Chains A and B, each alone.
Chain A
Amino acid sequence: MIPSDYLSVALLIAGAIFFLAGTLGLLRFPDVYTRLHALTKADNVGLGLIVMGLVVQAESWAAVGKLLLIWVLVLLAGASVAHLVARGALQRGIRLWKR
């Protein structure tokens, strides 16, 4: 293992932790809006960290570009879908969770 590998490992583990947190939120949060919140926030960051961890390992700039593109596209899709789901839920009259 060379130093860059350690960096990768650290980033990947961090990413995985974010995913774990996001999934936990998905399972444990009380309503659709809070779940969306947990899922998208955590996953976007998690994926970013994992992409970073892989970028460190990348062999060419083209590969780096592709990895980043994936992240950007997922960010876009995730944000839009989260918006659509939330809007759909609102339109169906699902109330916000309140303590």
Chain B
Amino acid sequence: MLQWALDALLGLGLLWLAWCALMSPNLLKAIVLFVAFGLLMALAWVRLDAPDIALAEAAIGAGLTGALLLAALARLRFAYADEETVGSPAQEEAKVRFPQWLPAVPLLLVVAGLGYVVLSLPPYATGLSTEVTANLESSGVSNPVTAVLLNFRGYDTLLELVVLLVALLGVWSLDGLALGRETAPGPVLDTLSRFLTPVFILVAAYLLWVGAHAPGGAFQAGSVLGAAGVLLLLAGWRFRAGLTELPLRLVLVAGPGAFVIVALVTMLMEGQLLEYSPEQASILILFLETTATFSIGATLAALFFGGRPQDDKEHT
């Protein structure tokens, strides 16, 4: 009963936060509420026995997305500040285009319909869990989620890393506004980032290693690395001249690149794309996860940075 009440409270809390985030008249508030919503989602994932997702959500969904949104808002306001007319907060108000209830009516029907459909599903269904359990032995890892991500459906993960790369290519090709350095970061942030970076790296390494048999893995580790990058960027750290070109790009491509190469090699050796022999599976997975972690971390940090990084002397 207590459990149920907790779940109900959590569910209602999610809905309420989402509603507030979406309808708040103030954009900053909306984003902060959205981050809170993300954290509550992480809690929901825990309640649903999905600790892997909880970690990913907390790090990526709430953390990095929140950072991206806040940075975007800051740049948006900075852009507005240039012009007299758009400086007013009216710009950001939750402007509504037509009677608000108009789309609400069909959407209520959608809710009712989909709700009915969801409830009509059988209360018990194993999905693919039996197949996963049966083959977990030969997958090379004992965390079933990692097994699915890196082995059973590793091809999806390969393409997913490509999605991340594509997003970065897109951001760079748009000449996004690079993160400026308007104010000096100050000693506190500087010290904090210096102190925390090793901790982040340690945590990332731990998550990466532990992912084989417990919640964690490349995405979680990568996003922790990414968070470290964000902190460093905020503290004023920049890529050193000479590293922004090929070396940086190599790190960004390492994850999907390694994946593709492994895919090719396994195909040549075993006959099928990404078919690992059971003996080598765990080491291959670790290799893929390591490269993926670096790439994910670097890509997320680069996404936060915005524009294509340039050598410091050019960057004014």
B186 at the interface (CB under 8 A from A): yes
Chain-A contact segment, one of B101-109, B135-143, B187-195: B187-195
Query: How many pairs, one residue from A and one from B, have CB atoms within 8 Å of each other in the complex?
Result: 16
* A73 to B197 Cα, complex, angstroms: 12
B199 at the interface (CB under 8 A from A): yes
Return the contact of B195 from the options A76, A87, A91 (Cβ within 8 A). Answer: A76
Those of B169-199 within 8 Å (CB) of chain A: 183, 186, 188-189, 192, 195-196, 199
Which residue of chain B has its CB nearest to the CB of A88? B183
Note all chain A residues with C-beta closer than 8 A to B188: 80, 83-84, 87
Prevailing SS type, chain A contact patch: helix
* A87 to B199 Cα, complex, angstroms: 25
Tell me whether A76 and B189 are in contact (CB under 8 A): no
Which residue of chain A has its CB nearest to the CB of B195? A76
Tell me whether B183 and A80 are in contact (CB under 8 A): no
Tell me whether B199 and A84 are in contact (CB under 8 A): no
Note all chain B residues with C-beta closer than 8 A to A76: 192, 195-196
A73-B199, A76-B195, A76-B196 are contacts. A84–B189 as well, Cβ < 8 Å? Answer: yes
* A87 to B196 Cα, complex, angstroms: 21
* A87 to B183 Cα, complex, angstroms: 11
Return the CB mask of B190-212 against A: 1 if under 8 Å, else 0: 00100110010000000000000
Which residue of chain B has its CB nearest to the CB of A77? B192
* A84 to B234 Cα, complex, angstroms: 12
Tell me whether B183 and A91 are in contact (CB under 8 A): yes
Which residue among B183, B188, B195, B199 has the maximum number of chain A CB atoms within 10 Å of its CB? B188
Which residue of chain B has its CB nearest to the CB of A83? B188
Shortest Cβ distance from residue A75 to the other chain B in the assembled complex, whole angstroms = 11
Note all chain A residues with C-beta closer than 8 A to B196: 73, 76
Which residue of chain B has its CB nearest to the CB of A91? B183
Tell me whether A80 and B199 are in contact (CB under 8 A): no
Shortest Cβ distance from residue A50 to the other chain B in the assembled complex, whole angstroms = 16
* A12 to B240 Cα, complex, angstroms: 47
Shortest Cβ distance from residue B273 to the other chain A in the assembled complex, whole angstroms = 40
Return the CB mask of A83-95 against B: 1 if under 8 Å, else 0: 1100100010000
* A80 to B192 Cα, complex, angstroms: 7
Note all chain B residues with C-beta closer than 8 A to A80: 188-189, 192
Note all chain B residues with C-beta closer than 8 A to A83: 188
Residues of B at the A interface (CB closer than 8 Å) are 183, 186, 188-189, 192, 195-196, 199
Residues of A at the B interface (CB closer than 8 Å) are 73, 76-77, 80, 83-84, 87, 91
Q: 16 A-B Cβ contacts within 8 A? A: A73-B196, A73-B199, A76-B192, A76-B195, A76-B196, A77-B192, A80-B188, A80-B189, A80-B192, A83-B188, A84-B186, A84-B188, A84-B189, A87-B186, A87-B188, A91-B183
The 10 A-B residue pairs with the shortest CB-CB distance in the complex, in nearest-first order? A80-B192, A83-B188, A80-B188, A84-B189, A87-B186, A84-B188, A76-B192, A80-B189, A91-B183, A76-B195
